[in-house]
Amino acid sequence: AQLAFASKKVNEAAAVVDDRASGLSKPLTDMMGQWDNFSFAPIRESTVSRAMTRRYFADLDTHAETDIVIVGAGSCGLSAAYTLGKLRPDLRITLIEAGVAPGGGAWLGGQLFSAMVMRKPADVFLREVGVPFEDEGDYVVVKHAALFTSTVLARVLAMDNVKMFNATTVEDLITRPAEDGSQGVRIAGVVTNWTLVSMHHDDQSCMDPNTVNAPVVISTTGHDGPFGAFSVKRLVSMKQLEQLGGMRGLDMQLAEDAIVKNTREIVPGLIVGGMELSEIDGANRMGPTFGAMALSGVKAAEEALRVFDL
Ligand code: AHZ
């Protein structure tokens, strides 16, 4: 009798949840209050392993030749991936992110604060992607930076033509001799390794990397830091850039316009966007305002399609 009473209570509680959560689909609410008889469908462990590894290695195979590689899945790289993936479902896009967690510096708005500020007209990108915001006149505010990042990320990951390899570091650039016969090179893809392997090059014997061929690479690895400004630092060490300008102090007014306007092809085959660009140009940083990152991603996508006539 007690059990019947308890079960009636559970069913009543489920009914309340059902009523309140009218947005939940019927099968989900049907499940509620039925946990005593609940069981998952059977599975063998090897089936789980094969379900993951088969897909991962098929993706590695498919993306070994890709149309566009984007290095870094911060706010700029994700915006570039979204724009390219949406405009050109026919192109194969490979997004490579060193961190286990993509998103770069865009999980918080600034310091440890939650809200993300974007100056207009970057609200156009938020509307496009479907991120809600408060309109404050010249600028808009997303209630949590993570809402922006998770929404763009979800849109990108759902696209059939985009594959993200996270926990994977771009360790080098693939080069070819310049077509004009000069000392220059064109970039023809990237050299990769799992990030945990990259971190152990000093204490393990040589662990050779993997490669991805692509006619276009967009680098958005952020400003200088342990992982930042990767491609432009490599361009200096391979003598394709004389030196870096070095990111300058904070000036929101100057920095945001400059980063968007100057997002461009730096050497043949390599477009640089986001804060990585400030290291080449000696541009100011903007700190906690993210409109330039979103629109630099849009410009990088446009440049990729224009420069390479894709
Ligand atoms: O993990 C890095 C981050 O997610 C990733 N990354 C860096 N080097 C990589 C490599 N291979 C693969 N070699 C790599 N991935 O690139 C992402 C960069 O994201 P970010 O948020 O640092 O850069 P962003 O240019 O998209 O946005 C910068 C936002 C600003 S502005 C600013 C300031 O003015 O102070 N600070 C930040 C964080």
Contact 69, 212 (CB under 8 A): yes
CA-CA distance, 65 to 210, in Å (whole number)?
A: 12
Cα 223 to middle of ligand 1, angstroms: 6
203 has pLDDT over 60? yes
**Which residue's CA is the closest to the ligand 1 atom numbered 33?**
287
Residue 258, pLDDT score: 98
Q: What is the pLDDT of residue 69?
A: 98
User: Which residue out of 97, 199, 232 has the highest number of ligand 1 atoms within 8 Å of its CB and is therefore the one to mutate?
Assistant: 97
> What one-character-per-residue DSSP string does the chain give?
-HHHHHHHHHHHHHHHHHHH-TTS-HHHHHHTT-GGG--PPP--HHHHHHHHHHHHHHHHHHHTB-SEEEE--SHHHHHHHHHHHHH-TTS-EEEEESSSS--TT-SSSBTTB--EEEETTTHHHHHHHT---EE-SSEEEES-HHHHHHHHHHHHHT-TTEEEEESEEEEEEEEEE-TTSSS-EEEEEEEEEEHHHHTTTTTSS----EEEE-SEEEE---SSSSSTTHHHHHHHHTTSSS-----EEE-HHHHHHHHHHH-EEEETTEEE-TTHHHHHHTPEE--S--HHHHHHHHHHHHHHHHHTT-
Q: In the prediction, which pLDDT does 8 show?
A: 54
In this prediction, residue 34 has a pLDDT band, given cuts at 50, 70 and 90, of: very high
Please, are residues 277 and 296 in contact by the beta-carbon 8 Å criterion? yes
- Smallest CA-to-CA distance from 113 within 151, 142, 137, 140 is with 142
- Cα 36 to averaged position of ligand 1 atoms, centre (Å): 48
Binding-site residues for substrate, in ranges, read 76, 97-98, 105, 170, 208, 223, 275, 285-287
Ligand 1 atom at shortest distance from the alpha carbon of 220: 25
User: pLDDT (tens digit, 9 = 90+) per residue, 58-77?
Assistant: 999 999 999 999 999 999 99
**CA–CA distance, 197 with 146 (Å, rounded to integer):** 28
183 confidence band (pLDDT: 50, 70, 90): confident
Give the model's pLDDT for residue 1: 46
What's the N-to-C CA distance of the chain in angstroms? 72
Distance 128 CA to ligand 1 centre (A): 23
Closest CA to 80 of 71, 126, 89: 71
> Are 246 and 236 a contacting pair, CB within 8 Å?
no
Q: Which residues line ligand 1 (CB under 6 A)?
A: 71-77, 96-99, 104-106, 169-170, 220-222, 227-228, 230, 274-276, 285-287, 293
Strand order in the sheet with 210-213: 168-177, 185-194, 210-213
Which residue is associated with the tokens 């390794």?
A: 193
pTM: 0.92
In the predicted model, is pLDDT for residue 226 greater than 90?
no
Q: Of all residues in the chain, what percent carry a pLDDT higher than 70?
A: 93
- What does the alpha-carbon distance between residue 201 and residue 222 come to, in Å, rounded to a whole number? 23
8 Å CB contact between 185 and 178: yes
Reported residue count of the chain is: 310
Predicted local distance difference test score (pLDDT) of residue 136: 98
Average pLDDT over residues 208-230: 95
Residue type, 274: G
